[in-house]
Amino acid sequence: MKTELQTSVGRALAVLDSFRAGDQSLSLAELAERTGFYKSTILRLAQSLQRANFLVRLESGRYQLGAALIRLGEICKRSARIDDHIGPVLQKLVETTGESATLYVRKGGQRFCLRRVDSQRALRDHVREGDLLPLTIGAPGRVFLYFDSDVARPNLARGEVPPEFRTTPSRPLPIITHGEYEPDLASIACGIFGPADELVGVICLTGLGSRFQRKAAQAMGDTLLEACQRLTALLGGDLAHYAPRKPPAKRGAPRR
């Protein structure tokens, strides 16, 4: 009985998951094609989903997602806060990379250090929770500059990151800078995105510049990228900003 129930629940979830961005409604044939289920199976599942208001059957016979999903989505957005997950993530980043890990959020025209876990290394930066720093300087500042839709960036499309600031040429995130905030320091930063495609925060790894050479920076960037993707998924954000892209044409000498 338990296995049968689990199978039914899994199939019902598969029906709901077959809806994609831009779908207003789906026909029975489209649902069958996307799930691989028999139409008779979908009809049976649809009746249960309709009773719970997860699915609506239109007069045309097509199916539409129901209001129960909107209600759950709103509950999820209100309950999923970055604060609930960030502590262990920062701690793990420090243990893995050996560098200090910081979560910044934007406060007006500055970035605010919301959470911080220090490296155990003797040579490191000394940012503290509660510090306010210049918004668009350093790797975390550049994430705000390139990805925060409320930050002015003349002649730049959102997500257009010059190749000299990428840890991996094909990906716009993470971003790396050397000596922009302090001459001897380097930083690697990556954004976290929320359900309305807003940039909700930036995680940054910071340390002595000599420890952020290309191979080490790529490895740290990959570790940071994975952590930010997990947090974005937990918050219901879109992972599209992390997708590989063709590097833009190089414009002038790199600023490091």
Q: Say how many residues make up the chain.
A: 256
Q: Is the pLDDT of residue 186 over 80?
A: yes
193-229, pLDDT tens digit by residue? Answer: 988 888 999 999 999 999 999 999 999 999 999 999 9
The pLDDT value given to residue 215 = 95
What value does the mean pLDDT of the chain take?
87
Comparing C-alpha atoms, which of 78, 141, 77, 137 is closest to residue 104? 141
What band does 21 get if pLDDT is binned at 50, 70 and 90?
A: confident
Sketch out the chain's domains with CATH numbers.
Answer: 2-77 (1.10.10.10), 80-242 (3.30.450.40)
Report long-range pairs for 225-231 (Cβ below 8 Å, ≥24 apart). Answer: 225/171, 225/173, 225/174, 225/190, 227/89, 227/92, 227/93, 227/190, 227/203, 228/173, 228/174, 228/190, 228/191, 228/192, 228/203, 230/89, 231/82, 231/85, 231/86, 231/89, 231/192, 231/203
Q: Is the pLDDT of residue 1 over 50?
A: no
Q: Is the pLDDT of residue 150 over 90?
A: no
Poorest-pLDDT segment among 89-103, 128-142, 146-160, 196-210: 146-160
Poorest-pLDDT segment among 109-113, 133-137, 246-250: 246-250
The pLDDT value given to residue 244 = 87
Q: Is the pLDDT of residue 252 over 80?
A: no
164-175, pLDDT tens digit by residue? Answer: 999 999 999 999
The pLDDT value given to residue 256 = 41
Report long-range pairs for 34-38 (Cβ below 8 Å, ≥24 apart). Answer: 35/11, 37/11
Residue 117's DSSP bridge partners are: 101
Q: Is the pLDDT of residue 79 over 70?
A: no
The pLDDT value given to residue 4 = 47
Q: Are 125 and 137 in contact (CB under 8 A)?
A: no
Q: Is the pLDDT of residue 253 over 70?
A: no
